[in-house]
Structure 1
């Protein structure tokens, strides 16, 4: 974390660690400035993966979702840590310079909800299908209030995600050329372990064209990715996201007969060391 913080601080004048540990910061406070959150999320996931390796836990495969795909590829040796972190830290400027404000809203309900309400289909695009009853909607900032009003009327629980743009939708198309050009010089190496992409719904192979752009532009397919992994016999899923929310979502994807296990490590409400100790005892 300190090495990553030094890289971002020296190149962009921002200290992710200072933002994470700011004096008086409460868990309920929004943490949504992209220039802070992008490198902070990448650094946290990479550091957690390295901690588990240091404790003797090695992955059989890695699964990345959205920004987590960059972390997964770096952990697997496809992109050096410094190169991947620098690219992630540059992305906020590319979107700030080219895209209008937008939002992502996670909805607890079937994706068909959007088609069942014509106005909702006009206001928002489907940014991801995570489970049978969990999907994400993307929309311009000006549509948020009406979308939330419709979801409330439909009695569909929802949560606005802490991002300022409508990622995984057509509303970020203005950033296409800049993101592709920024990633043009990056070359993916063969991974130490298979890296599953929630964008592709399959393992990443070196040579996938415009992968950095596809990760942020195309809909997330976590549900399809988990289904494919389950079809191969399942797994022990260890959630390294900063909130532990992926573990809860993946539980929805598992059938009663699944042999899979799920462990979440991090939570904004504490208990992280206790969860780590339990994982090390049972892994």
Structure 2
């Protein structure tokens, strides 16, 4: 079975999507429509902007979403997913790809998500840190035992977790984890404490927007970050998407479940190759490819 996977924040690069825009009339039309919906020329930033500008959350998230969804759209009849999943932001791309959300609704939700997250970051400053070389349970216990807000946020692959929360709590947890034998426990250059309780204001703001959008029956199941299981019921998909901002990204568990359910070929759609690398670390037996 073919599993299509969609990257999240961090996969962006200057020039992303330019080849699609230049080579496909359908892609050009969708990019032009995106500029209208967003009210600014995101294509100009994506194709030839400054790296600092592209790194802004309000730009990064729609940019990655556009690259991924438009790439899937131009694949045409060759795009036949049996299952889809996306890492954090990538879940929105996955839901457009499996026809749960329309392109327009998906883009507007991603734009609102980016703005809500930026506001939450400004109101509740926080950070994230990558932890390498420890069992999940050790990281979870260190977070639970550390005073303040710090939680396991991204289960990327065995031995690679990201923790998230208040700066002082994350720093304290990193020291504990180094003493516990972590190969690395280092702060990441991110704008806030994503997938932690500090994102609650953003979750509340995004909930209203998500509830106002039509969720259709998908053409194949989505393995959602919150549950790491196959979901096809539109109402359940909607609920999980609302919960996603403050819940951990269970990527390791999602990929393992996709493989258990018959996923044999993992095709990454969008910028970068980060997810292919993670899938290889989760299971070396499956095929990985770029669309």
What TM-score do the two structures reach when normalised by structure 2? 0.76
Q: Does 1:196 align with 2:220?
A: no
| Native 8 Å contact 2:58 2:111 kept in 1 | yes
CA distance in 2, matches of 1:211, 1:178: 15
Deviation at 1:35? Answer: 0.5
In structure 1, what is the equivalent of residue 23 of structure 2?
none
1:162–1:214 CA distance, 2 compared to 1 (3 A): farther
1:234–1:201 CA distance, 2 compared to 1 (3 A): same
CA distance in 2, matches of 1:35, 1:224: 29
In structure 1, what is the equivalent of residue 17 of structure 2?
none
Deviation at 1:48? Answer: 2.1
2:235 to 203, 207, 229: 207
CA RMSD of aligned residues (A): 2.9
Kindly report which structure 2 residues correspond to 1:83-122, keeping only aligned pairs within 5 A, or say none. 83-98=105-120, 99-109=123-133, 110-115=135-140, 117=142, 121-122=146-147
In structure 1, what is the equivalent of residue 56 of structure 2?
33
1:121–1:50 CA distance, 2 compared to 1 (3 A): farther
Deviation at 1:13? Answer: 3.5
More divergent stretch after superposition (3-12 vs 208-217): 3-12
Deviation at 1:245? Answer: 0.9
Cα-to-partner distance string for 1:189-226 (whole Å, 9 max, x where unaligned): 11112222122211222111533321222111111112
Higher RCO structure, 1 or 2 (CA under 8 Å, sep 6+): 2
Deviation at 1:7? Answer: 4.3
Query: SS of 2:235's equivalent?
Result: coil
CA distance in 1, matches of 2:168, 2:76: 44
Kindly report which structure 2 residues correspond to 1:113-152, keeping only aligned pairs within 5 A, or say none. 113-115=138-140, 117=142, 121-122=146-147, 124-141=150-167
In structure 2, what is the equivalent of residue 272 of structure 1?
none
In structure 1, what is the equivalent of residue 214 of structure 2?
187
Stretches of structure 2 lacking an aligned partner (at least 5 in a row): 1-26
Stretches of structure 1 lacking an aligned partner (at least 5 in a row): 266-275, 277-283
In structure 1, what is the equivalent of residue 104 of structure 2?
82
Deviation at 1:89? Answer: 0.8
CA distance in 2, matches of 1:249, 1:184: 32
1:173–1:135 CA distance, 2 compared to 1 (3 A): same
In structure 1, what is the equivalent of residue 67 of structure 2?
44
Query: SS of 2:165's equivalent?
Result: strand
CA distance in 2, matches of 1:136, 1:223: 12
CA distance in 2, matches of 1:86, 1:38: 11
CA distance in 2, matches of 1:119, 1:211: 24
CA distance in 1, matches of 2:45, 2:191: 17
Q: Does 1:175 align with 2:202?
A: yes
In structure 1, what is the equivalent of residue 15 of structure 2?
none
